[in-house]
Structure 1
């Protein structure tokens, strides 16, 4: 929601101030200039990025405007699930989880925690690494290093849409100048026309420069930062899981391992230890 509010503030401030100063909005409507600038920008994105990055970009932008806040049920259910999993491992070993991690969507255990199932990035990261641990013995140090490398690689891939937005944002003023130059060429080819017509064409050319700068600093650059924050939030979810798996592999009791995961959550979403205990009690009470 705050992304939409931000866009509204930008448009009202820029164009409202322009009208207040005596400008006419009609003169800002130059579809040919807009086509040149945004067409060149979109084309540059398509040329510079492979199909998976373009698809991930669409997914992230859609998520940015549809689900901006952290799911309030994710961490309580994730901690409760990890508590149950670690308790089972302590008693029966990792092999007891095979029936659950092979097909979590049909697992009676995972079905108790729908928020975890809904977040496919968290679910896949968890079950893949549980499966690796169940296949063969791996030292806590090696596990920690492996998880760090995996998160780093995932983060790099997910940041590519943000980097693409940033790069094209830097180029937008240049595309604006490109449109302005084309407008000046048209103006010069009609230099013998009426002075009013020449003035209109020069104004249209200058709109191209404005649109390029506006798109850079009021859309593409903020969108790049917003996508970066989205990736950071998702990375924190994976670091939470990794911290719990690593702490438990090092021999810490389940509650201490869960607390290690709690400390990886971003500060605006991180519960206190007392809240964590309350979450665990509530999840136990809700469990069938």
Structure 2
């Protein structure tokens, strides 16, 4: 929503100021479609040349993320901590053997199914199950597990950021493409040098629309969208850091309450439940989850 509002504000302020200063919209409106075709079309073509299909898909899906905002809200972080508490408590009270049915068949697990939004995200479920499963295979050295977790998270973050990087590069190319469009307009004007000055003035004005459009697309739309997408990717990455910290704290031998409290410290401040909110939430977990 803020993205759309921001774009509208940019357009109103830019063109409104131009009109209030006495500028006429007719030359811009006349030149805009073809200039946009040159700049936008060339940009899309270069984007396709530069990036593979996987990166293009991430960039396009990233546009949807920018419109919707981060997936995880404050309630989701509380639910994640409760889920991790339930898993670590199950291990502490009944041993790692009791954990196996939950990590091998998470879709049938009472613990996972108690949190439908988390259970529906296969990235989160797979991440939790993969590393909790390792604890059942005697891979329980906290330092080794933390090292593997960090490498996995770095790889995941790098892959997720590819779409944002591609959009950023596209945004940086628009001013240059605007110059290309303007130069083509100047060439067209010079080929019509025998025309009246009024015609030549209109043609030069149309050519300058290309420079204007390239800069406008770059610094007020494409680049800000790329920055916002990277912010969302970084914020969503905190979700997996919470999982990492709880697992590592558990492997260090901490009680479930301490492990999730350590995980709570990794939650972004504006989304973190308080100590008492989390304590109340884990106290309200149904007992049949641990059967």
Same fold (TM over 0.5): yes
Q: Cα deviation per residue 1:61-102 (whole Å; 9 max; x = unaligned)?
A: 112212446434311211111111111111222232222222
Match of 1:32 in 2: 34
Q: Deviations over 1:207-263 (max 9, x none)?
A: 000011111110122111101111111110000000000000110110111011111
Which region of structure 1 is more displaced relative to structure 2, 21-30 or 177-186?
Answer: 21-30
Q: Deviations over 1:166-194 (max 9, x none)?
A: 21211111000000001111111111112
1:30-62 CA-to-partner distances (Å, cap 9, x unmatched) read: 211101111111122211111111111122211
Are 1:222 and 2:224 an aligned pair?
yes
Alpha-carbon distance change, 26 to 105 in structure 1, aligned in 2, over 3 angstroms: farther
Q: Is the 8 A contact 1:56 1:161 kept in 2?
A: yes
User: Is contact 1:155–1:235 with CA below 8 Å preserved after alignment?
Assistant: yes
Unaligned 5+ residue runs, structure 1? none
SS class of match (1:268): helix
Partner of 1:192, secondary structure, is: coil
The answer to whether the Cα contact below 8 Å between 1:116 and 1:123 also exists between their aligned partners in 2 is: yes
| Structure 2: gaps spanning 5 or more residues | none
**2:271 partner SS:** coil
1:244 corresponds to: 246
Q: Match of 2:236?
A: 234
In terms of mean alpha carbon deviation, does 226-235 or 56-65 score higher? 56-65
Paired residues, number: 288
Residue matched to 1:196: 198
Structure 1 stretches (4+) deviating beyond 6 angstroms?
285-288
Q: TM-score, normalised by structure 1?
A: 0.93
Asked if the contact 1:122/1:238 (under 8 Å) is kept, the reply is yes
Q: Aligned equivalents of 2:188 and 2:278: distance in 1?
A: 67
CA RMSD of aligned residues (A): 2.0
Report the equivalent of 2:178. 176
Q: Which has the higher contact order (CA 8 A, sep 6+)?
A: 2
Match of 1:127 among 117, 120, 129: 129
1:86-235 to 2 correspondence within 5 Å?
86-235=88-237
Provide the secondary structure at the position in 2 that maps to 1:97: helix
Whole-Å Cα distance in 1 between the matches of residues 28 and 175 of structure 2? 17
- Which of 266, 269, 280 is 1:267 aligned to? 269
The verdict on how the C-alpha distance between 1:108 and 1:285 changes in structure 2, with shifts beyond 3 A counting, is: closer
- Give the TM-score taking structure 2 as reference length: 0.92
Q: Is the 8 A contact 1:73 1:115 kept in 2?
A: no
**Structure 1 residue 287, shift from structure 2 partner:** 7.4
Distance 1:178 1:281 in 2: 65
8 Å CA contact retained: 1:77, 1:115: no
Q: Is the 8 A contact 1:77 1:283 kept in 2?
A: no
- Mean Cα displacement is larger for which, 9-18 or 269-278? 269-278
